[in-house]
Amino acid sequence: MKDKVLAVLNEPSVQTINFALPKTFPMNGIDFKLVIKAIENGTIRVEEGGVPAGMAKYTAQDDGDSKANTMYLGQNNTSEIVFKSLMVHEAVHAIYDLKRMTIPWLDNEVIAYVSQGFYLNKHGYSGGLSQEAKLGQEIATNINEQAKDPFWLDALIDYLRNDDVYKLYICKTFVGDG
């Protein structure tokens, strides 16, 4: 699984995910190289399981049964491209951890979903996505309009704030500790 994640993060379609959204940090795809290096040298681990099928998560600090600096990938229950896009999403969280950034969880999730959206677009994929992933893809598709008319961005923020999974922590702060 580790090799699979490395192969995805090494794709040019990942390292060219560059965008800037209003009122948050710009995304620079070259930063995925930090995650590649960390996985290669064992600073970040990749584990199969630990989350339900079709899900993934990155844990920056020890949290219950989840270990720090670990990307957990549930069994793939959907298309290969969606599965790979989850790796891109979690790698964004890993970037902020490696860069020791303290940022609102909301920004962290928005940038992860939009990066995932860019990845799906670059592979021409649509359909069969969670609502958040679908909105992230709409933002990626309409990236140039978001500064003037952040319709899709506002929709994603609203969804994240109200989703049962995310509302537990979306108003909190993510603290990257390397």
Contacts of 123 (CB under 8 A, 6+ apart): 13, 81
Q: How far apart are CA 118 and CA 114, in angstroms?
A: 6
Smallest distance, Zn ion to C-beta of residue 175, A? 15
Binding mask 104-133 for Zn ion (x = CB under 5 A): -----x--x---------------------
- Of the pair 109, 138, the CB lying nearest Zn ion is at 109
Q: How far apart are CA 157 and CA 151, in angstroms?
A: 10
Smallest distance, Zn ion to C-beta of residue 167, A? 14
Q: How far apart are CA 178 and CA 162, in angstroms?
A: 30
- Of the pair 115, 121, the CB lying nearest Zn ion is at 115
Rg of the chain taking only CA atoms, in angstroms: 15
Residue matched to tokens 């670059």? 122
Contact window for Zn ion (CB under 5 A) among 34-42, 101-109, 142-150, 155-163: 101-109
The DSSP secondary-structure symbol of 46 reads E
Smallest distance, Zn ion to C-beta of residue 108, A? 7
Smallest distance, Zn ion to C-beta of residue 105, A? 9
- Of the pair 132, 138, the CB lying nearest Zn ion is at 132
Kindly list the residues in this chain that would bind Zn ion in the complex (CB under 5 A).
109, 112
